[in-house]
Structure formats: structure tokens, C-alpha cells
Amino acid sequence: MVLGVYPMKPKPLKLEDIEIVRLSGGHSGGRKKPLTKNSRAQELRYEIVTLRHVPSGREESFEIPAGHYSKREMQRLREELKEQFLINLSGNSGGP
């Protein structure tokens, strides 16, 4: 070991470092009016969410399967995907 040179500790992974890069999906029902709180939960909706860990640049896509989701439920599912992505990153941080 060279004096004055210390091995760097890996930075802790944080949920704030994850951003949603792309959302794609849809709904069925063919409504022409804007969706309301009640009608949103009646529609069959799905999403494919691509997340990026900003410091490493690593991206991964996840699918929210088709279902009847309210706006709040979709937001909660996206947050759960971010947490799952963070778990995947921490499990794979040691190697390629």
C-alpha cells in the first residue's frame, strides 16, 4: 500500500439518484372526455417504465401489468419499481 493513498469506499445508493427516463403504456376504453378520479380506476391501464441510476448511467425497464389502477395507485407502483431497481443495483454493484 502506498502511503497517502486509501481505497475509495463505494458511495451508498440513494432513491433520489433514480429518475424515470421513459414511460410508455396505454389504456383501453376509448374515452373522449378527460379521465376523472372514478373513470381512471375503471380503465384498463398498463405501463412500461424505464429507470436510470444517474451516477452510474445504468438503465432498466419494468412493466406494470394491465389492470384497473387509479392515478394514486400508478404513482405508488412507480415508486415501488424505483425501490426494486435500487435493490437490483445494490445486488449487482460488485461486478459486471
d(CA 36, CA 1): 64
Per-residue pLDDT tens digits for 46-67: 888 898 888 888 899 999 998 9
Task: Check: CB of residue 41 under 8 Å from CB of residue 33.
Answer: no
Q: Domain extents for the chain?
A: 15-28+36-91
Cβ atoms < 10 Å from Cβ of 85 = 22
Q: What integer pLDDT is reported at residue 28 of this predicted model?
A: 58
- Which residues of the chain, if any, have pLDDT below 50? 1, 94-96
Task: Check: CB of residue 13 under 8 Å from CB of residue 93.
Answer: yes
Q: What integer pLDDT is reported at residue 93 of this predicted model?
A: 54
Q: What integer pLDDT is reported at residue 80 of this predicted model?
A: 93
